[in-house]
A = this chain, B = another copy of it.
Amino acid sequence: MSSRNPYDADLAKNPANYVPLSPLGFLERAASVHPDRVGVIHGDRRITWAESYRRCRRLASALARHGVGPGDTVAVMAPNIPAAFEATFGVPMVGAVLCALNIRLDAEAIAFMLEHGEAKVLLCDREFSPVIAKALAGLARRPLVIDIDDGEAQGGGPIGTMEYEDFLALGDPDYVWRWPEDEWEAIALNYTSGTTGNPKGVVYHHRGAYLNAIGNAVTCGIAGHPVYLWTLPMFHCNGWCFPWTITALAGTHVCLRRVEGRAMFAAIAEHGVTHMCGAPIVMGLLINTPEADRRPLPHPVNFLTAAAPPPAAVIERLERQGFRITHVYGLTEVYGPVTVCAWHEEWDALPIEERARLKARQGVRYLTEEAVMVADPLSLEPVPKDGATLGEVFFRGNVVMKGYLKNPAATAEAFAGGWFHTGDLGVWHPDGYLELRDRSKDIIISGGENISTIEVEGVLYQHPAVAEAAVVARPDEKWGETPCAFIGLKDGANATAEEIMAFARTRLAHYKCPRTVVFTPLPKTSTGKVQKYVLREMARRLGA
């Protein structure tokens, strides 16, 4: 550094040239530039951007009148309906932090999150009032509960102080909302699924939400005014930041209370959906929708998928139907996806199996995430880009959480060495694309050899009778652990454990082949991920 730097003199930040980054301004812009465009669709409802902005300001204003302010938590228990969307803006507009709860959780988990997150207000969709009532019963401090009486809700009833629309009516549609004083301020609190122990509260900041919202658009090539179908839960990493992405582009949010084949095809046809996101389970629903419930696609529909690599057969069937699949990867701690399997035009000419193999890779960093590496978990030394050496996936950049709420030990562990430790294991290909092999805790160590359960599962999926497969470690007296396969068979298909094991031996090193095969439908999380901890427990009970 020069002893005297003229570029540092009299050139400080001031209110004219420095504003904290925040996605909140996206809504103001959509409303002022495209006031009459439809911003939100839900059933027969059409909410323009001007009206959406007024509703969000009403929400912020009503929250402020009830004493909610900076650093307070507002929880939401709702499917993908307008209220859930409005909370992504209305809550941070008073400086509060949005805690979107997974609607498939039980009362105990919800109670923990409300208590740990210190929720001051809870917006609760009627359908989920039974589980919420149970969760509230055990709380020392009960939040203000607002009922959302969505027209499409089934069952449940009011348990709160007032209904959401009445609450909005208390608010000022011209409310002068609060821009964050610092872009490092928290905007959202998202609890991890917590397969062991208590869930951890991942804290997002305004800067990261702004950058990943834009990162989705720039990295995945989303331009114009996208029409976005809400098949990914908004409570899942704040819908991968898409409430902010689609608003930034003044697109249209098409709400979807229930993710069902018929409803998806209807929404695509009626509203001209251009983009949607979801776990493989959503792709499966699309593929398996009966002919009578299908509608022709008005144009190609872009589908972003994560959580598990899309198998070749699924890609092929969906692409033939007019969907374009993009494979992304991320975690709650990084605001949703931060890598993408960026496509090369020359790959289009390859056979489908080859394309699927390339597309199964988790790929490269988002433009807005500064670094990703596959490295030794202890030394943080990057592994060679040989497509073979296993390492842990690490991220560093602006789309990484602030940390875990009230959990400095876990935060320090996650950030040890100046990188975020994902706990996911993978390899680095010669072209710089990463490919996951396993979660650290999923890896099987048999006779001292590491076995990637993803590799074994990939082989099992090739068996013609196998619909789904998951492999976990089974304790073994001699080998320490051996692979145990759980398999769901296709409708009408048959196979024996011996056949499956023999099949695997023709394609895998012997030590990697399952020693145990159990036929059963796989247990899954609300976001479509196989619950390996359930399977591990089942395998443990099988004995060593």
Contact A32 B218 (CB under 8 A): no
A16 near B: Cβ within 8 Å?
yes
A57 near B: Cβ within 8 Å?
no
A415 near B: Cβ within 8 Å?
yes
A5 to B185, CA, bound (A): 10
A418 to B402, CA, bound (A): 30
Contact B364 A17 (CB under 8 A): no
A291 near B: Cβ within 8 Å?
no
1/0 per residue, CB under 8 A from B, across A211-238: the answer is: 0001001100111100000000000000
Q: Which residues does chain B contribute within 8 Å of A97, judged by CB atoms?
A: 7
User: Which of A11, A203, A214, A221 has the largest number of chain B CB atoms within 10 A?
Assistant: A11
1/0 per residue, CB under 8 A from B, across A359-387: the answer is: 00000110100110000000000000000
Q: Which residues does chain B contribute within 8 Å of A2, judged by CB atoms?
A: 69-72
Contact B342 A16 (CB under 8 A): no
Contact B17 A70 (CB under 8 A): no
Q: Which residues does chain B contribute within 8 Å of A184, judged by CB atoms?
A: 13
Copies per complex?
A: 2
Q: Which residues does chain B contribute within 8 Å of A6, judged by CB atoms?
A: 71, 118, 405-406
A403 near B: Cβ within 8 Å?
yes
Q: Which residues does chain B contribute within 8 Å of A14, judged by CB atoms?
A: 415, 418
Jot down 13 A-B pairs with beta carbons below 8 A, ordered by A: A6-B405, A7-B97, A7-B185, A7-B189, A9-B406, A11-B203, A15-B396, A16-B396, A16-B415, A17-B400, A29-B365, A34-B344, A218-B218
Interface segment out of the listed A18-26, A164-172, A504-512, A524-532: A18-26
A397 near B: Cβ within 8 Å?
yes
Q: Which residues does chain B contribute within 8 Å of A395, judged by CB atoms?
A: 16
Q: Which residues does chain B contribute within 8 Å of A342, judged by CB atoms?
A: 33-34
Q: Which residues does chain B contribute within 8 Å of A401, judged by CB atoms?
A: 17
Residue of B nearest to A185 (CB): B7
A186 near B: Cβ within 8 Å?
yes
Q: Which residues does chain B contribute within 8 Å of A432, judged by CB atoms?
A: 32-33
A411 near B: Cβ within 8 Å?
yes
A398 and B21 contact, Cβ closer than 8 Å, known pairs A72-B2, A405-B6, A419-B16: yes
Which residues of chain A in 398-425 are interfacial with respect to chain B, using CB atoms and an 8 Å cutoff? Answer: 398, 400-403, 405-406, 408, 411, 414-415, 418-420
A248 near B: Cβ within 8 Å?
yes
Interface range on chain A: under 10, 10 to 19, 20 to 34, or 35 or more?
A: 35 or more
A249 near B: Cβ within 8 Å?
yes
Contact A17 B420 (CB under 8 A): yes
A1 near B: Cβ within 8 Å?
yes
Contact B397 A10 (CB under 8 A): no
Give 5 nearest A-B pairs by CB, closest first. Answer: A5-B71, A15-B418, A7-B186, A17-B400, A221-B223
A364 to B419, CA, bound (A): 39
Checking B11, B21, B370 against A411 with a beta-carbon cut-off of 8 angstroms, the contacting residue is B11
Contact B71 A396 (CB under 8 A): no
A8 near B: Cβ within 8 Å?
yes
Contact A367 B15 (CB under 8 A): no
Checking B11, B224, B371 against A221 with a beta-carbon cut-off of 8 angstroms, the contacting residue is B224
A237 to B71, CA, bound (A): 40
Not counting A17-B401, A218-B249, a sample of 12 additional A-B residue pairs whose C-beta atoms are within 8 angstroms of each other reads: A11-B186, A13-B184, A15-B396, A15-B418, A16-B420, A17-B402, A17-B420, A25-B370, A33-B432, A214-B214, A218-B248, A221-B224
Which residues of chain A in 231-261 are interfacial with respect to chain B, using CB atoms and an 8 Å cutoff? Answer: 248-249
Q: Which residues does chain B contribute within 8 Å of A248, judged by CB atoms?
A: 218, 367
User: Which of A7, A9, A405 has the largest number of chain B CB atoms within 10 A?
Assistant: A7
Contact B19 A396 (CB under 8 A): yes
Q: Which residues does chain B contribute within 8 Å of A25, judged by CB atoms?
A: 370
A395 to B16, CA, bound (A): 7
Checking B10, B11, B19, B397 against A398 with a beta-carbon cut-off of 8 angstroms, the contacting residue is B19
A249 to B401, CA, bound (A): 25
Q: Which residues does chain B contribute within 8 Å of A18, judged by CB atoms?
A: 398
Q: How far is the CB of A247 from chain B (nearest CB, A)?
A: 10
Contact B7 A71 (CB under 8 A): yes
Contact A16 B418 (CB under 8 A): yes
Q: Which residues does chain B contribute within 8 Å of A411, judged by CB atoms?
A: 10-11
A87 to B367, CA, bound (A): 21
A371 to B17, CA, bound (A): 10
Q: Which residues does chain B contribute within 8 Å of A419, judged by CB atoms?
A: 15-16
Q: Which residues does chain B contribute within 8 Å of A371, judged by CB atoms?
A: 19
Q: Which residues does chain B contribute within 8 Å of A32, judged by CB atoms?
A: 364, 432
Q: Which residues does chain B contribute within 8 Å of A398, judged by CB atoms?
A: 17-19, 21
A522 to B398, CA, bound (A): 49
Residue of B nearest to A186 (CB): B7
Q: How far is the CB of A366 from chain B (nearest CB, A)?
A: 9
A371 to B15, CA, bound (A): 11
Q: Which residues does chain B contribute within 8 Å of A405, judged by CB atoms?
A: 6-7, 11
Q: Which residues does chain B contribute within 8 Å of A4, judged by CB atoms?
A: 71
